[in-house]
Chain A
Amino acid sequence: MPDMRFAPPPTVRVAEHPGGMNQVLARSFNERLIMSLLLQHEGMTRLQLGQESGLSAQTISVIVRALERDNLVSKGEAVRGRIGPPTTPISLNPNGAFSIGLHVDRHAIEATIINFVGEPVAQSRSPLAVLDVQTVQDTLTGTVDALLSELGTEQRALIAGVGLTLPGRFEAGGPEEQAVLAHDFEEDLRAHTGFEVFIQNDITATASAETLFGQAKRIDDLLFCYVCEDLKPRLILGGRIYTGATPQISICDSKAWQLTHDAIASGALDDDPAVSQWRGTVVEKLGSLVQSLGTFAKVSELIVSAPVPKSITDVLVSDLKLKVSDDLSVTGSQFGPNALAYGAATLPIHSRFTAESP
């Protein structure tokens, strides 16, 4: 038996072929910790990474080299400050990984592909003629195939996985709708694409996307609220999303929501009665939700997301600012009408590359 202290070292994980499958290997916890920090702060030096993570300089050095080899991070230009030595910031490589998001809505499959820093690179919406298992199944696979065809071979090899989101329930759900919620689309997609599939509730996923790429990047305590025909809130405390039973507060019925949505799509705002009533109810109910929340948990941030153009979200935000107290800061999501598919797309990135689980 040789002295194992002098055994040959294990082979380094080296990307022999650029764009190879290396990045889909599970990353170590420390590597994910470093990537979480880089997702939160653009361009950090190794010193800063060490201070934030508590890892030693040499461990950081080894991790950064491993991430560089797999093209997940890129070394920035050395910055020469007035005092002290030059520092070289490290950033995530936007093209180091890609992720597919699929959201099953009542009427359509919304899909998006994002890159490693959360920029959408492809999007689509495929209507569902009926809501049943077979139709959803066929539309999901067709949508994925169409999206993948927009990527080059190299980018396809860098797909981290498929995120799939479904609502907690469908309005007026009959047996067909129940069957859709119960069906294992995860397995279908895994078999069809060969990618790992991650599944999550739609609102929880988009709220978690806000903490990863959106408005809540550096905020630990906040209330996130998705607004459509219902208010769908998620409370995030200490950076963690509460995923237990969450109230769903009705704003209007689906028919009224359809009218509102159509009116918004046609550009109507104040002059449309459906829209102004929707706005009014949202502000009233969300306002009182915030107020009652304030009696037992102090959050200083409210983030509002809705499947409407950004201009409408902005109007909602300014309505809300008038309603709530000044020490609550209200912001609109930047993800736009595709926020749910975007949330789905962040699931694989969250699970594979960060130290937290969504």
Chain B
Amino acid sequence: MRSVLCYGDSNTYGQTTANKPDDRYPHDVRWPGVLRGLIGNEWLVIEEGLSGRTTVSDDEIEGSEKNGRTYLRPCIMSHKPLDLIIIMLGTNDLKVRFNKTPGEIAMGVGALVSDIKSMPAGVDGKIPEILIVAPPPTALDLKEWSDVFLGAQEKSRALAREYERIAEAHEVHFFNAGLVVNSSDEDGFHLDVQAHKDLGHAIAEEIAAIGWPEQND
């Protein structure tokens, strides 16, 4: 049995698109659940999504627990050994309060990759495989979130390119979620049910494409 950690924000947590903050899709609807349905007989799929999680920043409004960097180490230690870590973050870094360019958001993802590589959290003390997933661009209309995400429409469209640069520089796997899903028009930045399903399928294919040798046990 292999294990994959899905480390992300509200779109990994399964936050619904309707503007009801506590609402979460059922476990088999959100993408890690879809993934579990597809590869669950061979993989332990671990969900670690938190609404509002950033790549590397404390959030002065939402709290320091949203910092994706400080939680990453204890999180990995709780779940190791891991074969694969999927990181899908960056959407919350688009918030105007963080004042980050797309390149800097990508560098935050790069910092997480460096942190993972500094820990022997893989099987047999190796480093796990790492898959960076660029989140899909926001919708053009961000409704009541327009102020919070001022300028995010344009910046989010540059993320995939910047993430690929980071993936290249760190020699890790990369997937652009924008190729298969869009942010919902309902609130502008969350995924709807169909998007979770499509993303789960796409991630399953990406995992398979990495190629995994037969396990001996």
Query: Is B210 touching A62 in the complex (CB atoms < 8 A)?
Result: no
Tell me whether A59 and B171 are in contact (CB under 8 A): yes
The residue from B111, B164, B204 contacting A12, defined by CB atoms under 8 A apart: B164
B175-217 vs A, Cβ < 8 Å mask (1 yes, 0 no): 0000000000000000000000000000011011111110000
| A57 and B168 contacting across the interface, CB-CB below 8 Å | no
Q: Does A6 lie within 8 Å of B111, measured CB to CB?
A: yes
Interface residues of B in 88-144 (CB under 8 A from A): 103, 106-107, 110-111, 114, 129-130
Chain B residues whose C-beta falls within 8 Å of the C-beta of A11 in the assembled complex = 165
Residue from A11, A12, A14 whose CB has the most chain B CB atoms within 10 Å: A12
CA distance A6 to B69 in the complex (A): 15
- Within 8 Å by CB of B42, from A49, A50, A85, lies A85
Q: How far is the CB of B82 from chain A (nearest CB, A)?
A: 14
* Complexed CA–CA distance, A51 and B208 (Å): 15
Q: How many A residues face the partner with a CB closer than 8 A?
A: 29
A45 within 8 A of B: yes
Q: Tell me whether B165 and A9 are in contact (CB under 8 A).
A: yes
Is A352 close to B, CB under 8 A? Answer: no
Interface of B is mostly: helix
Q: Is A24 an interface residue (CB 8 A)?
A: no
Docked Cα-Cα span, A88 to B211, in Å, equals 9
Q: How many residues of B contact A (CB 8 A)?
A: 31
A-B CB pair tally, cutoff 8 Å: 76
- Is B103 in contact with A8, judged by CB distance below 8 angstroms? yes
CB distance from B192 to the nearest CB of A (A): 25
Q: Is residue A276 contacting chain B, with contact meaning CB distance below 8 A?
A: no
| B169 interface residue per 8 A CB criterion | yes
> Which chain A positions have C-beta within 8 A of B106?
9
B residues touching A (Cβ–Cβ < 8 Å)? 39, 42, 103, 106-107, 110-111, 114, 129-130, 161, 164-174, 204-205, 207-213
Considering the complex of A and B, which 5 residue pairs feature the smallest CB-CB distances, nearest first?
Answer: A47-B211, A9-B169, A85-B208, A46-B211, A61-B173
Sample (14) of A-B pairs whose CB atoms are under 8 Å apart: A6-B111, A9-B106, A9-B110, A9-B170, A47-B212, A51-B213, A60-B211, A61-B172, A65-B164, A85-B42, A85-B204, A87-B208, A87-B211, A88-B209
In the complex, besides A65-B164, A86-B205, 11 extra interface pairs with C-beta distance below 8 angstroms are A5-B114, A8-B103, A9-B168, A10-B169, A14-B161, A47-B211, A51-B213, A56-B171, A60-B211, A62-B172, A85-B207
